[in-house]
């Protein structure tokens, strides 16, 4: 009778054949935080203890205990700690891993232990694999090939990614393309543990006078990263012959000379108009007027009356409109002297 009651009491707290609910795979990006859950859905005991163990990258290494928590004496939370454990009453234990790095990848197992009420029981759940990944950086570049003018070499550089497995495709909106590298070619490992791959393709733009758009798509797990570049259309035309540079100096020099001549003529016309205005106003005292009058007098043409008076010359004279009276200075003596002047 006692054994039956004990068996009923034990079954009321947890089924002997019950297992722990654990996700088989959990993924997290480098630098982020991730939570690994471990729960017994058919159990019901408030006081339990949980232990978390790291079993190496592939699950076959030496086990290392990384976190322990008891419901009766919960430790103080440390926000700077790499690992921390929280409990719920169903019961459930959750392991929080902060600032994920590549060496955090591996297999983790949890163990739940019931102490009260007796008897003490322990359950070890199935392993959970943590996969830390690094999203790739994708960049495209293009350069025309010398062998075929209608083809363009497009290079898709995929750098700083983890793990190595990913799928790369290049697509065009116009023209065809031929891949030169497979998904496993040209992959190198960086000192940090990440990978870098180079993928090349020849893009045919013979039937694309306006060019084509090339897209490099990189799929990692369920995420996809893309990069796009525009490739202009290639035309197989002979290059035009350019004239030497000194041929350009001839029209430039001629244009400068013509502009200089026009400027000189316009300046001379302005000067002549200005002299005419000065002459009409009659300001003889102005220096500009005197210069204009002198130039006008010097430029007057002499003419002769042919046949009648060969010794007489005519000239156009100009006198200012303003006359200035000059007072005769007084004589030094009151008397005047006269003399006879004879002319021949």
For the stretch 175-221, pLDDT in tens is 888 888 665 557 889 998 999 999 888 888 888 888 899 999 999 98
For the chain, the structural domain boundaries read 14-133, 137-231, 274-318
- Residue 10 has a pLDDT of 36
Tokens of 232: 């202009």
pTM beyond 0.85: the answer is no
Q: Give ∠ CA 280-284-287 in degrees, rounded to 5.
A: 110
How far is residue 170 from each of residues 138, 144, 167, 215, measured CA to CA in Å? 12, 17, 10, 6
Maximum alpha-carbon separation in the chain: 189
- Residue 68 has a pLDDT of 85
- Residue 11 has a pLDDT of 32
Q: Do domains 14-133 and 137-231 have the same CATH topology?
A: yes
CATH topology of domain 14-133: Immunoglobulin-like (2.60.40)
Among 106-110, 149-153, 339-343, name the one with the lowest average pLDDT. Answer: 339-343
Place of tokens 């707290």: 13
Span 137-231: which CATH code?
2.60.40.10
Tokens of 72: 């009766």
């Amino acid at each position: 009778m006692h054994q039956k009651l004990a068996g009923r009491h034990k079954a009321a707290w947890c089924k002997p054949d019950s297992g722990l609910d654990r996700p088989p795979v959990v993924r997290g990006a480098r630098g982020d935080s991730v939570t690994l859950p471990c729960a017994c859905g058919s159990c019901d005991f408030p006081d339990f203890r949980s232990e978390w163990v790291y079993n190496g990258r592939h699950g076959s290494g030496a086990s290392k205990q990384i976190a322990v928590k008891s419901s009766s004496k919960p430790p103080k939370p440390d926000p700077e700690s790499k690992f921390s454990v929280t409990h719920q009453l169903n019961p459930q234990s959750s392991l929080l891993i902060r600032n994920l790095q590549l060496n955090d990848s591996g297999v983790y197992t949890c163990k739940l232990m019931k102490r009260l009420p007796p008897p003490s029981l322990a359950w070890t759940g199935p392993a959970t694999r943590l996969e830390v990944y690094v999203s790739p950086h994708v960049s495209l570049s293009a350069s025309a090939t010398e062998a075929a003018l209608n083809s363009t070499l497009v290079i898709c550089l995929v750098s700083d990614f983890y793990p190595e497995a990913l799928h790369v495709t290049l697509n065009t909106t116009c023209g065809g393309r031929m891949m030169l590298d497979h998904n496993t070619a040209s992959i190198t490992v960086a000192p940090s543990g990440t990978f870098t791959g180079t993928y090349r393709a020849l893009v045919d733009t013979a039937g694309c006078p306006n060019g084509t758009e090339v897209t490099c798509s990189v799929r990692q797990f369920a995420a996809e990263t893309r990069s796009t570049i525009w490739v202009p259309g290639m035309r197989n035309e002979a290059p035009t012959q350019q004239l030497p540079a000194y041929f350009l100096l001839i029209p430039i020099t001629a244009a400068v000379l013509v502009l200089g001549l026009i400027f000189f003529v316009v300046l001379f016309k302005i000067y002549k108009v200005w002299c005419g205005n000065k002459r009409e106003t009659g300001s003889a005292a102005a220096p500009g007027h005197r210069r204009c009058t002198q130039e006008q007098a010097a430029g007057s043409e002499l003419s002769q009356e042919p046949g009648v008076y060969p010794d007489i010359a005519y000239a156009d004279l100009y006198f200012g409109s303003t006359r200035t009276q000059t007072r005769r200075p007084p004589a030094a003596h009151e008397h005047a002297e006269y003399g006879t002047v004879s002319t021949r």
